[in-house]
Chains A and B, each alone.
Chain A
């Protein structure tokens, strides 16, 4: 048995009183503590236990003292416990060592041990952390469950997208065949019976054919537009200046293009998918040229600037412009502010621009006035910041 806490008796009555007061306080700590407190031998035997042991584990003092304490420890925790006993025996202190003890009712509780060795004995305190450990395990399971559900939902979404892609694809195909029939057969009527028809009759038949062709273009553009929502974004830092120059070089040569002055300012880079951004430039520059082609010498300015992790780009033309109060409609699908006879087009170009820019976590804007040209601008991130969540 180790040193008793009683200590040796003092002769002086004052110091004896003081000492017995110290002894009494220390004893009360030991007895009243809700944490487990004990003295144990380096050989693995409990020597003295406070009442908290009985209350917490359910065993009697007798039961706990008569067997090595390793018997009460969860088998999986015994090797580690033996390890720390070795370390303690060499004089090192122990802080926050966790293991599990078996209770009288067969269940296990978790404890966090703090221990100071002295003269071959271990003076230890343990806190019951069973609830804390349980809560941590529940959180972990919740998280695992959540992650699993997120993965399932993501896969479900991907599957739904693939289905939608296949659906719109087959619709487009199925629609094209009868369109071909309409266009072709109206032409055949003109070819075979043209001489029998007056000019008006021929004109009407021509309308049938050209409407069919227009519908074909609409289908293609719609398909393109819907594909954009599902294409995977491949983000990288894009040299916008060189991209713009490439786009201009590769534009089909139209009248306006041939004589246009296209002024390209210095453009900052952007973070995005190069192929999609290319589409944005193609649409904006083609638009600028198209709506300028009634001017004598079309002039277009392309400029950009970077600020606060974003790059803003502007395409300005001096063509027919638009009425500012319709600015919001500009980006709608199939929205047109000029009639088909004035300017050909399906009205999907700017909708595609907006869709791509939004997928890049950016914004679009338009300014203009009637016959005073227009400036279409878009802003997208140029660095990996909090604004940009990655592929959308």
Chain B
């Protein structure tokens, strides 16, 4: 799944920002979302820096209308350049983005606990298990919830 151009975003509205550097995990996540018809408007970025550039319309994404905010961010923690915690911190610190729901993808429950200690207002966690079924189900559930069920305070 390739990223939409910024112009297309403006028209269609990106619903999910997937921040994941591992291409296999990214493919699994997108497949799960697609299977549940949740992936029509998904942007996939591969590192923390690009996530911030996209969200705030800087760098290669300068000019993107930052009023178009995703309905949910799926955020992996171990990212090159800028790591997941830093992205989370930046998202929560900025007026424009701090209300966007963030679902953190962690590698273990221990990691989950560590993230909690940062107290950065994570909306929910998905622990990336080894098996496909659980991971797919978790991702699509999260997508389902934040896209279809949740009414965010606009």
Chain A residues in the interface with B (C-beta under 8 A): 173, 176-181, 183-185, 187-188, 209, 212-213, 215-216
Contacts and interface: CB of A to CB of B under 8 A. Distances in A.
Given A184-B135, A188-B31, A213 B24 contact: no
Contact of B25 (A173, A180, A187, A188): A180
Contact of A184 (B107, B108, B132): B132
The 5 A-B residue pairs with the shortest CB-CB distance, nearest first, are: A216-B130, A184-B132, A181-B24, A187-B132, A184-B28
Dominant secondary structure of chain A at its interface with chain B: helix
Contacts of B133: 187
Contact of A177 (B25, B31, B131, B132): B25
Contacts of A216: 129-131
B132 to A, nearest CB: 4
Nearest to B31: A188
A183 B25 CA distance: 11
A176 B107 contact: yes
Given A179-B130, A212-B130, 11 more contacts: A173-B107, A173-B108, A176-B107, A178-B24, A181-B25, A183-B130, A184-B131, A184-B136, A209-B131, A209-B132, A213-B131
A180 B132 contact: yes
Nearest to A178: B24
Contacts of A173: 107-108
B113 to A, nearest CB: 13
Nearest to A188: B31
A209 B22 CA distance: 19
Contacts of B24: 177-178, 180-181, 184-185
Nearest to A179: B130
A181 to B, nearest CB: 4
A179 B134 CA distance: 14
Contacts of B131: 180, 183-184, 209, 212-213, 216
A223 B42 CA distance: 36
Given A173-B107, A180-B135, A184-B135, A213 B130 contact: yes
B82 to A, nearest CB: 20
B39 to A, nearest CB: 15
Contacts of B31: 188
B128 interface: yes
Interface string B18-51: 0000101100100100000000000000000000
A215 B25 CA distance: 18
A151 to B, nearest CB: 30
B130 A180 contact: yes
A216 B135 CA distance: 14
17 contacts: A177-B22, A177-B24, A177-B128, A178-B24, A180-B24, A180-B129, A181-B25, A183-B131, A184-B24, A184-B132, A184-B135, A184-B136, A188-B132, A209-B132, A213-B131, A216-B129, A216-B130
Contact of B130 (A176, A185, A188): A176
Contacts of B129: 180, 216
A187 B31 CA distance: 12
